[in-house]
């Protein structure tokens, strides 16, 4: 399965403090604004999403159709196909994609330890 770009999405208490901290680790802002309550920060090919008051807990995030620079990939597995394959493999989803649609969509699932995984397709 081609899951696309990987990042960790962190639910933060103070976006500015988190931004300052990760900048000291060499990360720079790639997308988002403090006014939007989220920042996507990058260091090399490593991505971290900082989200204030948008969701509870942290999650692993995959973006089918994108590389680590949010550039479109020529070939990728649509989130609906990923969903089908996961379900065929016995994986339970917490939120399923609408199979009757095309384009942007997302699914949620948890790993065996309860860690949230978001597969979020933007195109």
**How far is Cα 36 from Cα 101, in angstroms, rounded to an integer?**
27
**Alpha helix ranges (H) inside the chain:** 15-24, 79-88
CATH code at position 113: 3.10.180.10
Place of tokens 């860690």: 115
Q: In this structure, are strands 5-12 and 46-52 parallel, antiparallel, or unpaired?
A: parallel
Count the neighbouring beta carbons within 10 Å of the beta carbon of residue 74.
5
pLDDT tens per residue across all 123 residues of the chain: 999 999 999 999 999 999 999 999 999 999 999 999 999 999 999 999 999 999 999 999 999 999 999 999 999 999 999 999 999 999 999 999 999 999 999 999 999 999 999 999 999
| Domain that residue 42 falls in | 5-121
pTM of structure: 0.88
Q: Tell me how many domains the chain contains.
A: 1
What digits encode the pLDDT tens for the residues 63-90? 999 999 999 999 999 999 999 999 999 9
């Amino acid at each position: 399965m081609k899951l696309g770009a990987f990042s960790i999405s962190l639910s933060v208490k103070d976006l500015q403090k988190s931004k300052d901290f990760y900048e000291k680790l060499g990360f720079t802002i790639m997308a988002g604004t403090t006014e939007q309550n989220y920042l996507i920060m990058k260091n090399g090919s490593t991505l971290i999403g900082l989200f204030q008051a948008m969701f509870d807990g942290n999650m692993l995030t995959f973006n089918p159709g994108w590389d680590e620079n949010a550039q479109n990939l020529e070939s990728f597995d649509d989130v609906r196909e990923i969903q089908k394959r996961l379900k065929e493999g016995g994986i339970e989803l917490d939120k399923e994609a609408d199979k009757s649609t095309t384009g942007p969509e997302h699914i949620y699932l948890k790993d065996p330890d309860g860690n949230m995984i978001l597969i979020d397709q933007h195109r």
